[in-house]
Chain A
Amino acid sequence: MRFVLTTHYGQDVNLFRHNGQRFWYALLAVSVVVAPLFLSTFYVGELVLVFIWAIAGIGLMLLVGYTGLVSLGHAAFLALGAYCHAVLLGYGVPFAVSAPVAVAFTALVGALVGIPALRMTGVYLAIATLAFERIVAYGIEHWEPVTGGLRGMSVPQPDFFGVSLADSYVLYYVSLGVLAAGLFAAANLLRSPTGRAFVAVRDSEISAESMGVHLARTKTTAFAVSAAFTGLAGVLLAHRIGYLAPDAFTVQTSIQLLLLVVVGGLGSLHGVVFGAIFVGYLPQVIALARDVLPSAVGQIPGLELGVFGLILALFLVFEPLGLYGRWLKIRSWLSLFPLYRKATHKRQKAYLRTERVQ
């Protein structure tokens, strides 16, 4: 076990606690940077998808994992980012303008969705965001002149500072850069007053307000920031898939995003990456399993959605801290061995809480 002697407050504020951490993160950074040299185009494309999932996951994690607001409508933000970007590119707007505009537009819509959300929590909020997702999908399906309706539209692939984003390798490094910057920005936010206000709203609205946290503004901010990250993922996704159609952004996408944050581990940015890898590769595992399983099971239509739901439920019941939480437990088992006790991570009984005020 490592104990860090804190000698100045700056150490508490830093993202990395000690040089050991810096070393491992640097190693990870180097390995993802050189990875494409050893991988085929197919696997590079798959990794791009994982990065895009992770960027969208940051957005949903800030909302669900840190602010405690659930959303089943994030596929809509993904779609808004992707379509807005693609439509602007179609009008000849350069990438450097259309991408920020698409993100800003998604953030604005997110803030507007956040306003009715001020009065809702839990399952009601989930249903309201689900309805929002349907409205956006309906709009995309029926606004044919702009979105191409059900036929969809192809995404123009402009030059990005002299290189084409249609090239998987270029998109790989762009997405990796965006993901790294996104994780850095989110980590920064979480060690600042706004991030702590998110956590305060999640854990106790009444005491957050009594400590001076503006509930409405904090929740709207959380929605806007969350939508912005997801919209940014949408921009990259538009280039990754090259052709936008409404069936790429369905309720299933929203559930996959929720699966990502829950399986990864609510309330941790590490969990976003774990969850993205999981969600990114799960459909392939299911596809492989379909071949192996007896045809009565393997050929059931909608098997994927069922498996997603099952995994979501199992994680909520048995490992609410997700894959990252599981990893932390394994790590503490290794560092405490042989002193680890079964009850080390037993969940504590909650104390009686003050009566809620409407």
Chain B
Amino acid sequence: MDSNQAALFEARNLSLSFGGVRAVRDVSFEIRRGEVFSIIGPNGAGKTTVFNLINRIYDADEGTMVFNGEEMSRMPGHRVAELGITRTFQNTELFDRATVLDNLLIGRHVHRRTNIVAEFLFLPTVRRQEIAFRSYAERIIDLLDLQGSRDQMVGALPYGTRKIVEIARALCAEPELLLLDEPSSGLNPEETEDLSFWIEDISADLGVTIAMVEHDMNLVTAVSNRVMAMADGTAITTGTPAEVQDHPEVLRAYLGD
């Protein structure tokens, strides 16, 4: 990856405190177009909090975030998906009492062009849009091999499948940047290996830039272009997976002195 390539997303001096706990302290990083960027660190390092900041679930106390040249640190949460950033959650946040297909169709929500009056009457424009949504969702189902569960209720699916459905839902929005929060947690080794192929496919076939928070170092090393290590809310170092793994500060954060 070319180091002087333009950044798709840039965070400058992000800080966030919850009462006396300084969850994120002065963190700056950039995510480059087309790369797989991983954030690693021990529990409580502030990795997921960084995602929640990008996703505008939390308001940063300080700092700025720029996506595609657009300042987004005060943007309302629902606008983030329209901007081109979608995400998955650590313990999955799917719509349980809906089918896999319906979950994926929610992913298309940002691309809707119909109003409620047309929807009440189900005018031809709405029908055409629904069919176009389905055909896109079907592409993602093909990509992630979800054909077997497309009409099943999400609540009844095994955990591993739910994690994949959540990635599929995020992809249905056609994001430019996909945030994966611990995609391999709760997966068995075989599923984790499948996941690494899929991450490569998503990156190569769909051209989606990926940022992920992950604990499994095998997965991180296999798919990441660059890695940022965090500990106690601060960014320790950023570099290639090998560089970061051997960094003395990172070793100390994980293993202690």
Contacts and interface: CB of A to CB of B under 8 A. Distances in A.
B244 to A, nearest CB: 27
Given A9-B134, A13-B131, A212-B173, A189 B106 contact: no
Interface in B102-156: 102, 105-110, 112, 114, 116, 119-122, 126-127, 129-131, 134-135, 138, 155-156
B16 to A, nearest CB: 13
A356 to B, nearest CB: 10
B94 interface: yes
Contacts of A199: 95, 97-98, 102, 106
B81 interface: yes
A348 B57 contact: no
Interface string A337-358: 0000000000010111110010
Contacts, number: 130
A267 B97 CA distance: 9
Contact of B126 (A192, A197, A214, A353): A192
B92 interface: yes
Contact of A209 (B77, B102, B155): B77
A196 B76 CA distance: 21
B115 to A, nearest CB: 9
Interface stretch (B83-91, B190-198, B202-210, B245-253): B83-91
Contact of A196 (B102, B134, B156, B173): B102
B93 interface: yes
- Place the interface of chain A in its size category: 35 or more
Contact of B86 (A12, A211, A350): A211
Interface string B65-92: 0000000000011111110001101111
B96 interface: yes
A204 B130 contact: no
B121 A207 contact: no
B159 interface: yes
Contacts of A13: 127, 130-131, 134
Contacts of A204: 93-95
Contacts of B116: 189, 194, 221, 225
B19 to A, nearest CB: 14
Contact of B78 (A185, A192, A214): A214
Contacts of A221: 116
B39 to A, nearest CB: 17
B94 A203 contact: yes
- Which of A188, A193, A354 has its CB near the most chain B CB atoms (within 10 A)? A193
B121 A354 contact: no
Contacts of B131: 9-10, 13
Contact of A9 (B94, B109, B135): B135
Contacts of A352: 91
A203 B159 contact: no
Nearest to B134: A9
Contact of A210 (B81, B108, B126, B156): B81
Closest 7 CB pairs of A and B: A212-B81, A192-B119, A207-B93, A203-B95, A212-B110, A188-B122, A193-B112
